[in-house]
Chain A
Amino acid sequence: MMKPPPIMIVDDDVDHAVIARTVLAMLAPSAAVEVVTDVRRVEERLRAVEQGALILIDRVLDMVESFAVVASLTDERPDVRVVILSAAMSPEDARRGCEAGAMLAVQKPGGLAAWKVLLGDILRQVAESDRSGSAGGAVA
């Protein structure tokens, strides 16, 4: 089994970030997971993200939409994979997220089982793309 990619969770809702980290610990215990909840540090942390990292980022950080941050990041770092998550994601927002370069933009599931399925699918997708040697790419 391939080593999971380094993962960064960017969410200004500390509870959501901790829950996502907890679920990831169940699915990929060996993954290195960094959690960023301080919005002032987001750009600095994203610049320093490891090669081939998977980034789970909230759609709205401190009342500002993160599409521009995602677009800028995926332009500069085509090696990283970005998934935009949101408590409420309209089809229009999902489209904007993918246009910004995210591999997926999706609403946060309401139950633990659904979280496991979602994050498990994302990890599988990233592993497949690593196996085939391609980084990024839209899947949604």
Chain B
Amino acid sequence: MSARGGRGHHAEESRPPRADDSRTARRPEQIPRVPPDVEAGARPYRWATVAPAREWRVTVPVPNSPRLAAEPAATDPQAFSESLLYSVSHDLRSPLLTMSLSTDLIEDALRASGTETGDTSVSVALDALRHGARDMERMLQGLALLSRAYNGAVEPARAPLRLVLAGHLVISDASDLNETLITVDPIVVRELLDVVASDGAAELHVRIEEGFALVEVAAPRQVEGGVTPLMALVSSLTYGAGTAVETLAVRQVLIERHGGRVCAEGGRLEIWLPLADSAGPAGDAS
């Protein structure tokens, strides 16, 4: 009997991406990431928070050596960020568990010994410990979901746009939208729209643009102000973790890993869904 398992932090399911499968290669270059007015400096404050995400897309030179090429450089910002995200989300929960369980055990022991905690400072301290632990648990859970969205396996998708649009009010000049094929998992997009529309029907403005189906929808209250759900979440875990912002952010990551993009513009979310070429990647079109 021997332990032949891989290193805990680099399991198959959760390994950080290598340089050669960086998101740079999968992301559509033709999407205008920074609106012209922002590039001109009209609203630099808004995009300051977006800067880290843009920096992750820096292409890192890959050494010629196959062995070295298989390992991301320590300075690869994308690999670093995602490894750090994994470590923070998983490793910190262990000492947190110890603290929250110890709090419960102390209270149990006090009760068993007949010590009246009542409104004493002991009771206040135990409550504060418990609240703090609960908040940390919520935030770490949000980071764990993001980490899994970044590092989990992504199956190639190929599905008709109607699977995304069905049940919503669609406004479009484009013809034959229903049979238009996209390469994003439609369930992920629907889950995002469900949150946006609070499980009702959303008003979707749809057009075909530069190889993408662009779906525009009014941004939900939680991500108003031109910030994408992902940036809203990572800007304030206190505010976003465990809320609809977290659900939206995770779907945003999954959509972008399929080659799409979620942008925030004014009071709207723009969801860019890549169209399947007629000779595009094989996938399940059902």
Contact = CB atoms under 8 A, between A and B. Distances in A.
Interface of A: 13, 15-16, 19, 22, 42-43, 46-47, 59-61, 63-69, 72-73, 76, 87-88, 90, 92-93, 96, 108, 110-113, 115
Contact of B94 (A22, A68, A87): A87
B5 A66 contact: yes
Contacts of B13: 90, 92-93, 96
Given A93-B13, A111-B101, A115-B101, A88 B93 contact: yes
Nearest to B99: A15
Q: 10 closest Cβ contacts across the A-B interface?
A: A112-B104, A65-B5, A60-B8, A72-B1, A87-B94, A88-B90, A92-B13, A68-B4, A68-B5, A15-B98
Using C-beta atoms within 8 Å of the partner chain, give the interface range for chain B: 20 to 34
B97 A16 contact: yes
B97 to A, nearest CB: 6
B9 A63 contact: yes
A19 B97 CA distance: 10
A64 B108 CA distance: 34
A92 B144 CA distance: 13
A96 B152 CA distance: 14
Contact of A112 (B2, B89, B108): B108
A73 B1 contact: yes
Tell me the dominant secondary structure on chain B's binding face: helix
B90 A19 contact: no
Contacts of B133: 110
B101 A66 contact: no
Interface of B: 1-9, 11, 13-14, 89-91, 93-94, 96-98, 100-102, 104-105, 108, 133-134, 137, 144, 148, 152-153
A16 B94 contact: yes
Given A13-B94, A16-B98, A64 B105 contact: no
Given A13-B94, A63-B8, A93-B13, A72 B101 contact: no
A112 B133 CA distance: 13
Contacts of A93: 11, 13
A69 B100 contact: no
Nearest to A13: B94
Given A88-B90, A90-B14, A111-B104, A64 B97 contact: no
A63 B3 CA distance: 11
B242 to A, nearest CB: 13
Contact of B152 (A22, A63, A92): A92
A90 B93 CA distance: 13
Nearest to B4: A68
Given A43-B2, A76-B1, A87-B94, A111 B148 contact: no
A112 B104 CA distance: 6
A90 B148 contact: yes
Given A16-B94, A63-B9, A68 B144 contact: no
A14 B56 CA distance: 38
Nearest to A61: B3
